[in-house]
Amino acid sequence: MKKVVLAYSGGLDTSIIIPWLKETYGYEVIAMSADLGQGEELAPLQEKAIKSGASKLYIEDLREEFLTDFVFPTLKAGAVYEGSYLLGTSFARPLIARRLVEIAEKEGAVAIAHGATGKGNDQVRFELSVKALNPDLEIIAPWRLWNLKSREDCIDYAQARGIPVPVTKDRPYSMDRNLWHLSHEGGDLENPWNEPKRDLYLLGVSPEDAPDEPTYLELGFEQGAPTSLNGEKIAPVALLETLNQLGGKNGIGIVDMVENRLVGMKSRGVYETPGGTILYMAHQALERLTLDRLTLHYKEQIALKYAELVYDGVWYSPLREALDAFVNVTQKNATGTVRVKLYKGNCTLAGVKSPYSLYNEAFATFGEDGVYDQKDAGGFINLFGLPLKVRALMEKESGLRK
């Protein structure tokens, strides 16, 4: 019997894909669930996968690898998709795909299957990663093949086979959770005019429900990577768990946006990224202190391309690796401490310091100083503005300017 390895979350789609693969192809189905910080969601998966028809289930703890190899490089790049999305789902997929390929090779499987829909970005992310890592593996995408047309159809399919699913027709949201974020799509959110319901949020609270007193944190960075919290060294997983708890309590990191999917349509998603929002804000503040103007401005351009590569699923590409090389050079002096203030949905800077700071108070002061001759600025302005002056003279002499 041929084998297929399924990216299994225990959600509605992947729960029914197991019996569908067996009924359609006659394959033995091996399920793989990546532990990226879903917490209690993983506990019932072993029993559920077997009852759904899988021959076995791999539960792979990839949390630290997720943060150090995928999240932190993206953080150091400053990559944000369309100004708001911190790429929580996007950079999880290439890691999951890599482990799927490794298990498929170990088990002698001929195919990999996933539950991404034909309308979504994840199908691209999974499949480009598989093609880059093992082009000989077949890829099965049931949503592009079966006759089920909606999540309601999927619920009916599951109920007919006695498969319990974590959604109902009353709460039909599609959710993706990991250490970095929690996304919500579908249901009433498909209409951008609908405000998210108050009980939608699971990682935190609405800003109006946050405490009336602010929370202050001090984050330490070494070469762009976060390494300490409030003066104490802390491992990556523990750091994100703590920041998610503190940020969520203060209503930090809620993003409601309509984004441009890679496949051509616009979609509406509500994202909870409390810890990630804190880290991005703190890292940006540190870079502003330690990077020179030319490098900082050019890095902002690189960040846009980096975000597109991650969003589009082109993680395993020479360009992404080349951009990482540039980013890592910019992070050599991105070491220091950032103090942030969390208050009712806002994360604001409360202080920043670094042994590699390019901020020099002696030069920047509005008080008396002995290092800066203000008369020098006149010559600089004359030279810097010379092209504008020459153009103005030409327009005056040629009659273009009256």
Q: Is 93 a catalytic residue?
A: yes
15 a known binding residue?
A: yes
13 a known binding residue?
A: yes
Q: Is 136 a catalytic residue?
A: no
Q: Which residues pair with 174 in a beta bridge?
A: 185
117 a known binding residue?
A: yes
90 a known binding residue?
A: yes
Q: Are 45 and 10 in contact, with CB atoms under 8 Å apart?
A: yes
Q: Is 98 a catalytic residue?
A: no
From 115, 151, 132, 91, select the one nearest 32 (Cα to Cα): 115
359 a known binding residue?
A: no
Catalytic residue (choose from 33, 52, 129, 174): 174
From 348, 204, 356, 364, select the one nearest 284 (Cα to Cα): 348
121 a known binding residue?
A: yes
377 a known binding residue?
A: no
7 a known binding residue?
A: yes
DSSP code for 67: I
In whole angstroms, how far apart are CA 251 and each of 15, 213, 321, 345?
A: 32, 12, 35, 4
Catalytic residue (choose from 13, 177, 267, 354): 13
137 a known binding residue?
A: no
Catalytic residue (choose from 33, 52, 63, 93): 93
10 a known binding residue?
A: yes
Catalytic residue (choose from 33, 122, 151, 354): 122
11 a known binding residue?
A: yes
398 a known binding residue?
A: no
**Residue 152, both tokens:** 């309601």
9 a known binding residue?
A: yes
DSSP code for 41: G
The half-sphere exposure of 105 on its side-chain side, counting CA atoms within 13 A, is 11
Element (H, E) at 267: strand 266-272
14 a known binding residue?
A: yes
Q: Are 204 and 253 in contact, with CB atoms under 8 Å apart?
A: yes
Distance CA 20, CA 60 (A): 24
Element (H, E) at 29: strand 28-35
Distance CA 368, CA 387 (A): 33
Q: Is 401 a catalytic residue?
A: no
The string of DSSP codes covering 190-244 is GSTTSPPPTT--SSS--GGGS-SS-EEEEEEEETTEEEEETTEE--HHHHHHHHH
8 a known binding residue?
A: yes
The string of DSSP codes covering 140-201 is E-GGGTSS--SHHHHHHHHHHTT---S-BTTB--EEEE-SS-EEEESGGGGSTTSPPPTT--
290 a known binding residue?
A: no
174 a known binding residue?
A: yes
115 a known binding residue?
A: yes
Judged by phi (left if over 0) then psi (alpha if -120 to 50, else beta), residue 150 lies in beta
Q: Which residues are annotated as a binding site?
A: 7-15, 34, 85, 90, 115, 117, 121-122, 125, 174, 183, 259, 271
Binding residues for L-citrulline: 85, 90, 121, 125, 174, 183, 259, 271
Catalytic site residues?
13, 93, 122, 174
Instruction: Detail the residues annotated as belonging to a binding site for ATP.
Output: 7-15, 34, 115
